[in-house]
Structure 1
Amino acid sequence: MAKKLKIRDLTLRDGQQSLFATRLTQEQVNRVLPYYKKAGFYAMEVWGGAVPDSVMRYLNESPWDRLKSISDAVEGASYLTALSRGRNLFGYAPYPDSILEGFYLEAIKNGLGIMRIFDALNDLNNVKSSIEKINAAGGISDGAVCYTVDPHYEVSFSDKLKSFFGGPKTPKPIFTDDYFVNKAKGLEKLGAKMVTLKDMAGLVTPSRVASLMPKLKSALSVPVDFHTHCTPGYGLASSLMAVIHGVDILDTNIWYFGGGSAAPAIELLYVFCTKLGVEMDVDMEVVGNIRKELEGIRKELSAYDLVKSFPKAFDPLQDTLPAEIDKQFDIAIEAAKQNKEQELLDACHAIEEYFNFPKPNLLVKEAEVPGGMYSNMVAQLKSLQAEHVLDDAMKLIPKVRMDAGLVPLVTPTSQIVGSQAVSCALDKLKGNPEYTTVSNQFIALVKGEYGETPVPIDPAFREKITGSRQEKPYDMSSYKAPENPVLPEYGGVKLAENEQEYLLLELFPNVATTFLKGQKAAKYKAVEPEKKAEEAPVADEVPVAEDPVTGSVIDAPMSGKVVEIHVKEGDEIKKGDVVIVYEAMKMENDISSPMAGKVKRIFVHVNDIVMANAPLIEFEE
């Protein structure tokens, strides 16, 4: 009997997030749901990750409605799955167990079947509570081990001489096969019903899969899932290697949402499985119907398309491959069986090139960072008109990462490390010491609030960044629940009127506030359009200073958004007091006053977007 391979389809979550900035609308999702009900996927990843934030922020849609609508349409034909960051859920800050429990209960009630849980540090303590609560709520906990690699260290000739004569040596490898196997065993011991090797950056090579997958299968009694991306060019070959070495569940996307920075296309894996005698447990005829719909949907998403080129149309059930391409599939299989990695990669790249999938991103491959992290760094530097420091920032990543405890690079640590590397590069450009500018998130990471890092942080470095040599875990008692104000301008309703809305407010305070206010305004105005339109308040405009600035001014350090204002006009403040919390490069930064004095004017409001060097606060003369 042929071995059956289960498929987790990522198209509606990770696929669209990787390729189209999570802009898939509910109307577009609805077009493919009737087919998904018949496709027979083991699981469909439809929620979590960036979806809850993005559907509110960009599409003005409810994340809960997205999940419930898919559940109603699929009617249990496939498990619906989501991705969460353990105790951080979908955000950057840890949450109390009460919020985790309420969130998981609500998600499972609305149709969620499997919750994939990962922690950016691979700290098992950060996922323990989520595994317990998902299982208790009747869901399936999927514990994910984040794959990463040891950084490349630039070793000078003098350092080599020092090492030869007994001086400091290059650090020993941390991320060995045993490291990942032990983390996987720990997840199973905590109660995970399945374990995923989550290769978020696409860095796991085929040879590493050949080494690691059999060890995972031998060590675990629960199913093993393999998740990777194609950005640096390993995805298709590594997925084939995972199939050959007995993976139970494989993550794929459907044709027009696959390849590039996403997971590989199911159609290519289907050809491999057919040749291997492995039965892919999916109705590929129905998958073809979804594929046809996705072609049109991708054209509609062209404004957000990161690739801008379509894969060549292909139906593996009907189309005959050219002899030379069919031969490449055979070459790839034989090379995989013999663990001849370069031959395997060459064959897979030839296949992808024929079908017009993106070529490997060599910058990401060499830097060994997630594609999203790299693109974020480029975008940040463009906004600052400082693209010329990109190379310096990339070279600083291994050092920043090591200083911070050799953290894996996955959300949120990839953003924290990437942004800090950019800040350090800019510090050097200005002639300042490294770490002159540090984000609140980097401080929290070094302090210990995100959990235990793979390598202990040097106490001297911790003191430099945080002011203390002592590790300080996040204090859950310091968590402050968001306010839920009454909105008199919209008929006296509360901002969050039910459990679902309040959970959104807890997870995404700024985004959810804007979204929920918009929902309440629309509902209120729909009752008595003319009257309510007259009564609805006009949003305050950002104050513009009409009088000339005569006192000392605190300027915006770079373009970004005002998150918090800690002072008011007339306040007497001391030098070093935090006056504003400012979000730039996706990180929050405390802006401290460089002087003592009395606040004369505040030129900004919370949520204002301001440009670099814009005046924020003026002091009296």
Structure 2
Amino acid sequence: MSERKPIKIVETVLRDGHQSLIATRMTTEQMLPIIEKMDQVGYHAVECWGGATFDASLRFLKEDPWERLRKLRDGFKNTKLQMLFRGQNILGYRPYADDVVEYFVQKSIANGIDIIRIFDCLNDLRNLETAVKAANHEKGHAQVALAYTLGDAYTLDYWKDTAKRIEDMGADSLCIKDMAGLLVPQEATKLVEALKEATSLPIDLHTHYTSGVASMTYMKAVEAGVDMIDTAISPFALGTSQPATEVMVETFKGSEYDTGLDMELLGEIADYFRPIREDAIDTGLLNPRALGVNIKTLMYQVPGGMLSNLLSQLEEQKASDKYYEVLAEIPRVRKDFGEAPLVTPSSQIVGTQAVLNVLAGERYKMITKESKDLLAGKYGQTVKPVNKEIQKKAIGDEKPITCRLADTLDPELEKLEKEMAQWKEQDEDVLSYALFPQVATDFFKYRAAQKNKIDLSKADVENGAYPV
């Protein structure tokens, strides 16, 4: 019998599972009753924060994301909590000054996060350094993610070299972040083996089921030596989400990779989430299209979420018939833009530009501000040079920046503190405001109104106006 190498499981239902399938609309109230059971499973970690959860909590659910994190931390006594962090963009869509990044990392760890998965949409490692150093300083676990993509530049040597640099940077572990489900089984074997040669860091594999190969990819990756895999409990698995936790546990049962997790307990957790999923189907929140296999993902290298965004953009313009033209235009725009991986925010930038190119009937007749910023070097350095002709058309004689954009930014925290002082109820509020000024302000107003109502009714009860 060969040496036992149990595979570790990262459960994503509280973050990527519901982000991928129901637009991040699961509420804290829906999460809390099952936490005690989830805490008994023995997961390596539960991913429960970051990504789009922060924006969605404030914008759609009228919840304080910091309060959610504290409640989850109170409930998970034995399990590590994990978040997703967009490098210098934190959880927003623009690069922030270093002081904001450092403060966000500090507060995330202080409120209960153990593992911070940090990535950059261009794999520009300069945009990860501040967050990694801050996590190291706060004694958190810094996991750095490679945004996996395909293209001439993305050779095994490229991935090995990047992994070595990540280890040298001070990362505690490495993640292969396959956000579009592009990693096919045989390539997973080659990639994991190459990374294991290049680095001694533990390796986590994250993928999506969009293209239909994810479970097989996990199997080959585990056999090649990957240490952790990301899965979602079955009601929030498959489609644009991750492979199902129970399926992967059962797959490796009795083998040298046996997770040792209790299927009965996982079954009870699945039973809890099933009605939440059914309700999402009934209300139209879970679109059945998100559950199927979309082989166009492999053909066009476009993430599932990006495909649905394109469809809705075209529907709004009454131009659904242009869908395939846009799909064919995406790889061309991506090439012009230095072959960037397609992940937030680069996926939105490339996708929107492709839509404009097709609808205008002329390529780059209209160029978005975000496209101009990317071509001007404001998001970081692309793996391949951008198309000089398109760059000139977009930014004219402006000199592209070659340094890290954050090096040109003044500290922001003090200014932000002044701007939102009237709404501040906790230190963390300034960070919510930094990321989403308008959305956070609307939430602060809502919170104040709710509080005043409660205070008023208490006062009225005491005055005898409303006898209890």
Which residues of structure 1 form unaligned runs of 5+? 151-172, 310-356, 487-492, 533-621
8 A Cα contact 1:496 1:505, kept in partner: no
Describe the superposition over 1:57-88 as per-residue Cα deviations: whole angstroms up to 9, x where unpaired.
Answer: 1111110011111110012x111000011000
C-alpha RMSD over aligned residues: 2.1
Task: Find the aligned partners of 2:287 and 2:221 in 1 and give their Cα distance.
Answer: 26
Aligned to 2:382: 453
User: Which residue number in structure 2 is paired with residue 422 of structure 1?
Assistant: 355
* CA pair 444-479 structure 1, distance change in 2 beyond 3 A: farther
CA contact (8 A) 1:225 1:249 kept: yes
Match of residue 222, structure 1, among 175, 196, 201 = 201
1:261 aligns with 2:240: yes
Match of 1:360 in 2: 293
After the TM superposition, which of the residue ranges 357-366 and 518-527 deviates more from structure 2? 357-366
Q: Cα distance, 1:461 vs. partner?
A: 2.4
Map of 1:15-414 to 2, 5 A cutoff?
A: 15-75=17-77, 77-150=78-151, 173-274=152-253, 276-302=255-281, 303-308=283-288, 358-414=291-347
Contact 1:459–1:470 (CA<8 Å) still a contact in 2?
no
Amino acid at match of 2:354: A
Q: CA deviation at 1:513?
A: 1.2
Aligned length: 452
Between 1 and 2, higher relative CO (CA 8 Å, sep ≥ 6) is seen in: 2
Give the aligned residue type for 1:499: D
CA offset at residue 33 of structure 1?
0.5
The AA in structure 2 aligned to 1:366 is M
Query: Please, which of 396, 400, 403 is the counterpart of residue 467 of structure 1?
Result: 396
Q: Tell me which protein shows more helix as a share of its residues.
A: 2
1:184, distance to aligned residue in structure 2 (A): 1.3
The 1-side partners of 2:388 and 2:164 are apart by: 30
Deviation (angstroms), 1:359: 4.2
Per-residue deviation, 1:363: 2.5
Alpha-carbon deviations, 1:116-144, whole Å to 9, x = none?
Answer: 00000000101011111011011000000
Identity %: 36
Q: What is the Cα deviation at residue 460 of structure 1?
A: 3.2
- The letter of the residue matching 2:353 is Q
Distance 1:133 1:81 in 2: 16
Tell me the residue number matched to 2:464.
none
Alpha-carbon offset, residue 21 of structure 1: 0.9
Q: Would the aligned equivalents of 2:100 and 2:412 in 1 still touch at CA under 8 Å?
A: no
Q: Match of 1:68, as an amino acid?
A: R
Secondary structure of the 1:259 match is coil
Structure 2 counterpart of 1:515: 443
Letter aligned with residue 392 of structure 1: E
Question: Take 2:321 and 2:458, find their aligned partners in 1: how far apart are those partners?
Answer: 54
**2:369 partner letter:** N
Take 1:96 and 1:115, find their aligned partners in 2: how far apart are those partners?
A: 19
What whole-Å deviation, never above 9, does each CA across 1:468-497 have from its counterpart, x for those lacking one? 2621253313969447557xxxxxx81233
Deviation track 1:177-236 (CA, whole Å, cap 9, x = no partner) reads 111121111111100000001100000010101111111112111101001011011111
CA drift at 1:368: 1.4
Instruction: Confirm or deny: 8 A CA contact 1:400 1:417 kept in the other structure.
Output: yes
Residue 386 of structure 1 and its aligned partner are, at CA, apart by: 1.5
- Flag the 1:503–1:478 CA change in 2: closer, same or farther, 3 A: closer
Paired AA for residue 242 in structure 2: A
Q: Give the secondary-structure state (helix, strand or coil) at the position aligned to 1:115.
A: strand
Q: Which amino acid is 2:44 matched to?
A: Y
The question of whether the paired residues in 2 share the 8 Å contact of 1:462 and 1:468 is answered with no
Which TM-score applies when normalising by structure 2? 0.92
Q: Which amino acid aligns with 1:383?
A: E
What secondary structure does 1:513 align onto?
A: helix
User: How far apart are residue 307 of structure 1 and its match?
Assistant: 4.8
- The answer on whether the counterparts of 2:181 and 2:297 sit within 8 Å (CA) in structure 1 is no
Give the Cα–Cα distance (whole angstroms) in 2 for the partners of residues 112 and 483 of structure 1. 24
Question: Deviations for 1:258-312, whole angstroms, at most 9, x for unmatched residues?
Answer: 1111110112112220253322043333222211101122122222553549xxx
Pair 398,518 (structure 1): closer, same or farther in 2 beyond 3 Å:
same
Deviation at 1:525, TM superposition (A): 3.4
Q: How far did residue 529 of structure 1 move?
A: 5.9
Per the alignment, residue 466 of structure 2 pairs with none
1:524 matches 2:457: no
- In structure 2, relative to structure 1, the CA distance for the partners of 1:203 and 1:518 (3 Å cut) is same
Contact 2:122–2:381, Cα closer than 8 Å, also in 1: yes
The whole-number CA distance in structure 2 between the counterparts of 1:531 and 1:34 is: 36
Letter of the structure 1 residue corresponding to residue 184 of structure 2: T
| Shift in CA distance, 270/113, structure 1 to aligned 2, threshold 3 Å | same
Q: Secondary structure at the match of 2:410?
A: helix
Q: Tell me what 1:436 maps to.
A: 365
Map of 2:463 onto structure 1 = none
Secondary structure at the residue paired with 1:238? helix
Q: Distance in 1 between matches of 2:141 and 2:458?
A: 50
For residue 142 of structure 1, give the secondary structure of its aligned residue in structure 2: strand
| Partner amino acid, structure 2, of 1:497 | E
Contact 2:280 2:286 in 1 (8 A): no
CA distance in 2, matches of 1:250, 1:293: 23
| CA offset digits 1:90-115 (Å, max 9, x no partner) | 11111111111111111111110000
- Write the distance in 1 (CA, Å) between the matches of 2:267 and 2:124: 40
- Specify the code of the residue in structure 2 equivalent to 1:189: D
Alignment partner of 2:252: what SS?
helix
Shift in alpha-carbon separation, 1:467–1:37, aligned structure 2, 3 A: same
Other structure's SS at 1:528 match: helix
SS at match of 1:72: helix
Distance 1:265 1:423 in 2: 37
Deviates more, 1:405-414 or 1:274-283: 274-283
Counterparts of 1:146 and 1:528 in 2: how far apart (Å)? 51
Tell me, yes or no, if the aligned pair for 2:144 and 2:171 is still in contact at 8 Å: yes
Please identify which structure carries the higher strand content.
1
Name the SS of the counterpart of 1:449 in structure 2. coil
User: Which structure would you say has the larger Rg?
Assistant: 1
Question: How far has the Cα of 1:435 moved from its partner?
Answer: 1.4
**Contact in 2 for aligned 1:39/1:284 (Cα 8 Å):** no
CA deviations on 1:559-582 (whole Å, 9 max, x unpaired) are xxxxxxxxxxxxxxxxxxxxxxxx
Q: 1:64 to 1:184 in 2, by over 3 A?
A: same
Change (3 A) 1:140 1:530: closer
Contact 2:253 2:260 in 1 (8 A): no
Q: Secondary structure at the match of 2:209?
A: coil
Shift in CA distance, 358/507, structure 1 to aligned 2, threshold 3 Å: closer
CA distance in 2, matches of 1:485, 1:178: 47
- Judged with a 3 Å threshold, the aligned counterparts in structure 2 of structure 1 residues 394 and 66 are, in CA distance, closer, same or farther, namely same
